[in-house]
Structure 1
Amino acid sequence: MLTALEVFTTVVVGLLVGVEFSVAFVLNPIFNGLPEDSAQLGRAHGGRMLGALMPFWYIGSLVLSAVWAIAGWHHPGAGLVVIAAALLIVSVLMSILLLVPINNRSKTWTVENRPEDWKEQMNRWDRFHYVRVAVIVAAFALLATALA
């Protein structure tokens, strides 16, 4: 049963990393290459769509990691899982404190009501997101190492 939990948790976190990596390094660069209105509208739609799903995915990943850490406390790699869970806590805190406030504003923007500094706000979101991606990549690497 522990092995199934370990594999499931690693897959869930790995998929989270894949989605967030693609947002940072594929989708947003595509949006940024579109004409100005299209870029902002694409980001707003992505913010609405992923903003509804990601809280569950982040919290679910953290809960699964915590359960693995508790259930596997006396098994090899438990320390790595605890560190991975701590990194996932950091990613959740970053999301709540830094990224979600910007996302909540930007997902309501249209061409008519966006603020003049919308590009600056998107650039700030991108910088925070790059750091968050690095944090969850590190968490995933630790989980994969603990699984091996």
Structure 2
Amino acid sequence: MSNSFGPIGFFDSGVGGTSVWSAVNNLLPNESTIYVADSANAPYGERSAETILALSIKNTDFLISKGCKLIVVACNTATTNAIAVLREKYIIPFIGIEPAIKPAALQTLTGKVGLLATKGTLGSALFHKTVLENAGGG
């Protein structure tokens, strides 16, 4: 169960999400935070969607056991493959690292953008939906 005094939880498959965690700590210095770096299972990008979801649930359950009031999925691959299920399964809010297609599509002058992403992100339904909605489908 969520409480307004609990920490903000973060998880990623490794330490890449620490940039998000650090930015939140700088913006909200009075908030306590917990960061989970699932380095034992990194990288998530080559894993199946089912495995990514299972790992995301495991990380979420751990953060909830620590009293987190909100969870930041600081991993593109976990966001694109698991956040919809996490939002349905748990009563606390989730913030994800959504694909950056929309801002890139709005700023490109040539109609083309470059993208670095894992196989797990590129194969996800959320990524494809975001491309279709914001970048004309490719």
TM-score by length of 2: 0.27
As a proportion of its length, which structure holds more strand?
Answer: 2
Larger Rg: 1
TM-score by length of 1: 0.26
Higher RCO (Cα < 8 Å, 6 or more apart): 1
